[in-house]
Amino acid sequence: MEEQVPEADGAEGPGGGGPVIVTRGLVKRYRGTLAVDGLDLTVPRGSVFGFLGPNGSGKTTTIRMLMGLIEPTSGTARLLGEPMPRAVRTVLPRVGALIEGPALYGFLSGRDNLLRYDAVDPTADPRTRAARVGEALARVGLAAAAGKKARAYSLGMKQRLGLAAALLQPRELLILDEPTNGLDPQGMREIRSLVRELAADGTTVFLSSHLLDEIEQVCTHAAVMSRGRLITQGTVDALAARSRLAVTTPDPADATRVLKEHGVTDLTTLDDKVTGELPASDPPDLADINAALVTAGVRVRAFGVERASLEDVFVSLTGEGFDVAG
């Protein structure tokens, strides 16, 4: 299930094809708490990579290590092929980040906030500042609201302004920590479509989320975290490709027995619906299974194969519900 991605050799430069993030055995221990526990993460260039897990599963701690904000207890992290935190100064200018909400001055307009951001960036050319700020505002759809004070912005507009700040320079990688957290559905849609546009322009986007449907909607790849550990990683299609046979019947016990006889595993019953995993190698003909159910006197109301959601995958891999508030 896990996708094999080539190892980073650490030698690629801008535009190289290697993974943009590679961690090996990454650990962060806070007094008493193992926040990140031996993480091996590989984020392919060009992906929209969803870093998924319930609150407290170690996502923010991982991002803080990737950005060189905190030191790992052990293990290694490479960003754009360079070791972190050692290469912070050369790597971070190539990475845009939005972590824990943007720091904004409410009394300044959106435009003035960005001008200020740009002015404290030693690598930013003051001669092109106004033009770059204008482009970044247009990019996130805030051109018309650029003169408004930031304190009058909605939460979604503040998040977009934060993204504009991350986009003042061309970036190879964007790291966004829970970019839609706290936003209303409209704000979420705006950020998600912006992420898709940025990805279409060739920026690799790594975003953390505790929202499964968000990952399914915007991401090409995902890693699933639970209690500091990586549960799985790969393409979203591959993660959700596990399909399950579902039989709706008033006779679930008999149906379960017949399905088991035909090699169906991991059988679960919820009310009148029995679902199970078909054997991956040499799968039985579904017509034969259906006939066997009927022959055994099982009354079948519905019969078919259902595509698993990421939520199904999470629950089946961790045995836990994904019951955090959206």
Ligand X SMILES: Nc1ncnc2c1ncn2[C@@H]1O[C@H](COP(=O)(O)OP(=O)(O)OP(=O)(O)O)[C@@H](O)[C@H]1O
- Return residues touching ligand X (CB under 6 A): 30, 33, 35, 53, 55-61, 178, 210
Nearest distance in Å: CB 61, ligand X:
3
Nearer to ligand X, 210 or 244 (CB): 210
Query: Distance between CA 210 and CA 195 in Å, rounded?
Result: 17
Query: What interhelical angle do 286-295 and 252-261 show, nearest 10?
Result: 130
Query: Distance between CA 54 and CA 224 in Å, rounded?
Result: 9
Strands (DSSP E) found in the chain: 21-30, 33-43, 48-52, 74-79, 82-84, 95-98, 173-177, 204-209, 221-226, 229-235, 243-248, 265-270, 273-277, 302-307
Nearer to ligand X, 70 or 88 (CB): 70
Residue count of the chain: 326
Nearest distance in Å: CB 177, ligand X:
7
The C-alpha angle with vertex 248 and arms to 246 and 251, in degrees rounded to 5, equals 120
Nearest distance in Å: CB 208, ligand X:
7
DSSP output for 72-140: -SEEEEEETTEEETTTHHHHGGGEEEE-SS----TTSBHHHHHHHHHHT-TTS-GGGHHHHHHHHHHHT
Nearer to ligand X, 35 or 293 (CB): 35
CA-nearest of 160, 154, 158, 159 to 141 is 160
Nearer to ligand X, 27 or 238 (CB): 27
Nearest distance in Å: CB 178, ligand X:
6
Nearest distance in Å: CB 258, ligand X:
42
The C-alpha angle with vertex 66 and arms to 60 and 70, in degrees rounded to 5, equals 75
Q: Which two tokens stand for residue 94?
A: 């190539």
Nearer to ligand X, 300 or 315 (CB): 315
Nearer to ligand X, 27 or 246 (CB): 27
Query: Distance between CA 35 and CA 60 in Å, rounded?
Result: 9
Secondary structure of residue 45 in the 3-state scheme: coil
Nearer to ligand X, 12 or 311 (CB): 311
Nearest distance in Å: CB 280, ligand X:
31
Nearer to ligand X, 60 or 232 (CB): 60
Nearest distance in Å: CB 248, ligand X:
37
Nearer to ligand X, 103 or 280 (CB): 103
Contact 156, 183 (CB under 8 A): yes
Nearest distance in Å: CB 200, ligand X:
27
DSSP 8-class letter at 149: B
Nearest distance in Å: CB 230, ligand X:
12
Query: Distance between CA 310 and CA 210 in Å, rounded?
Result: 12
